[in-house]
Amino acid sequence: MQTQRPHKPQVRVQEILEAAESLGVVGSDACGAPQLLAALCSPDAGSAEVLGLMRREPALCARVLRVANSAYYGQSRNITSIDRALVLLGLDAVRGIAAAGCLSRTFRRGSPQSLLDLRSVLDHSLATAIAAESLARLRSPGLAADAFIAGLLHNLGIMVQMQLDLRGVEAIARLRGRLDNRDIRTLEAEHASVGHEQCIAVILDSWQLPAALIAATGHHHDPMSAPEPHRRLAAFTSLGAGLALTGGIAFTLEPQSPTCDGAAMECVGLSDADLASTALDLPARVREFGCSLFA
Q: Where are the domains of the chain?
A: 13-293
Residues 5, 168 contacting (CB under 8 angstroms): yes
Nearest to 198 by CA among 19, 7, 1: 19
Average pLDDT, the chain: 90
As its CATH architecture, domain 13-293 has Orthogonal Bundle (1.10)
Model-wide pTM > 0.85: yes
The pLDDT assigned to 17 comes to 94
Residues 63, 70 contacting (CB under 8 angstroms): no
The pLDDT assigned to 112 comes to 53
Residue 133 is which amino acid? E
Q: Ramachandran region of residue 270, left (φ > 0), alpha (ψ -120 to 50) or beta? A: beta
Q: What is the pLDDT of residues 219-240, one digit of tens each?
A: 999 999 999 999 999 999 999 9
Q: For 139-163, b where at least 16 C-beta lie within 10 A, e where not — what string?
A: bbeebbbbbbbbbbbbbbbbbbbbb
137 has pLDDT over 90: yes
**Region of poorest pLDDT, from 53-57, 156-160, 166-170, 240-244:** 53-57
Choose from 12-26, 31-45, 216-230 the range with maximum mean pLDDT. Answer: 216-230
The pLDDT assigned to 111 comes to 57
